[in-house]
Amino acid sequence: MNIVLFTRAELEQAVPSGDSRARHLREVLRRAVGEEFDLGVINGPRGKGRIAALPSDGSVHFTSVLGDEPPLLPPLQLLIGLPRPQTARKILQECTALGVESIHFVATGRADPNYAQSTLWSSGEWREHLVEGAQQAFCTRLPTVTCGQPLVAALAELPPATLRLALDNYEPTAGLADFALPNSTTAPSAVLALGPERGWAPADRAVLRAAGFTLVHLGPRVLRAETASVAAISILKARLGWLSM
C-alpha cells in the first residue's frame, strides 16, 4: 500500500497488532518511533502520520496531521454483468485503483444470480477490496458500489446527459479507441457497460441500445472481465482527458 487509510474514528486509536496496517508499518515500511508515513481518511483528506510508540504487543501508536480534501473521482460509472466472486474481487480492487465514480454489478440475461448471494457481498468483504485499491493508488476516495439490481432498473436510474458505451465482442459499431466523441469542450460524464463473463444476451443488447448505448469493442482478442475492465477504463479516461483524476 502506498498510503495507509483510516476512518476518522481510527485516527484517535492505536492500530492493533492483528491489523494488516500495523504489520505494514512495522514490517514493510519499517517505520521507527518519530518517523512519518503517508495516511488518509477514507473519502477525506490525505496527510502525514508520525509513529508515537511501537509497543511489544505489536500495535502501532501514531499521531496525524491532515491536509486538504482530494479531488473528486472522475464522473465515470461502470455497469458490469454480475461475475463470479473471485472475478468481482479483482474488478473492485483494480477499478478503484484506476479511479471511477461508481461500480454497479447488475443482473443480466447470462449472469448467474447466485453470485449475488456470495459472502463477498453479504459479509461486507467487498469494501476491503475498495480500500486496497485506493491505498495502491495513493487515493482516499472510494467508488459507490451496488450489487444485484437488474440491468433494466440500473439503466433507468442513469442521469440523462451521459456518454453511454457498452463493450461487446459480437455486434460493436466502433472501437473504443476510435469512436466519435461528442462535440463538446467539456468532458461529459460517462457510463461504461461490460457484460458478464458469458457476454451480453440478445435481450441485454436490445435494452442497452434502447437506452442510448453505443456498442464498442477493444479489438479482436477476447479478454477476461477483469482485464477488459482495466483496459476499457484506461482507454476511455485517456480519450476524455481524465487521467489526472
Least confident of 5-14, 80-89, 125-134, 178-187: 178-187
* pLDDT band, very low/low/confident/very high, at 244 (cuts 50, 70, 90): confident
| Residue 116 pLDDT exceeds 90 | yes
Specify whether 25 is located in the same domain as 92: no
Express each pLDDT in 134-146 by its tens digit: 999 999 999 999 9
| Residue 185 pLDDT exceeds 60 | no
Q: Tell me how far apart the alpha carbons of residues 166 and 232 are, in angstroms, rounded to a whole number.
A: 10
| Residue 186 pLDDT exceeds 70 | no
**Is 222 inside a domain boundary?**
yes
The dihedral over CA atoms of 203, 205, 206, 207, expressed in degrees to the nearest 10, equals 90
Average confidence score pLDDT of the chain: 94
| Residue 118 pLDDT exceeds 70 | yes
**Is 245 inside a domain boundary?**
no
Contact 37, 43 (CB under 8 A): no
- Of 46, 66, 86, which one is at a domain's C-terminal end? 66
- Predicted TM-score (pTM) of this structure: 0.94
Specify whether 129 is located in the same domain as 160: yes
Contact 22, 57 (CB under 8 A): no
pLDDT at 184: 59
Specify whether 204 is located in the same domain as 140: yes
Q: Could you tell me what percent of the chain has a pLDDT over 70?
A: 98
Give the cell for residue 42: 477514507
Residue 83 maps to which CATH number? 3.40.1280.10
Nearest to 238 by CA among 197, 181, 195, 158: 181
Which residues touch 222 (CB under 8 Å, ≥6 apart)? 169
Domain coverage including residue 18 = 4-66
Q: Rounded mean pLDDT of 74-92?
A: 97
Number of structural domains the chain divides into: 2
Distances (CA, A) of 235 to 93, 107, 164, 229: 18, 25, 15, 10
Residue 55 maps to which CATH number? 2.40.240.20
| Residue 223 pLDDT exceeds 80 | yes
Specify whether 28 is located in the same domain as 112: no
Specify whether 93 is located in the same domain as 61: no
Specify whether 82 is located in the same domain as 198: yes
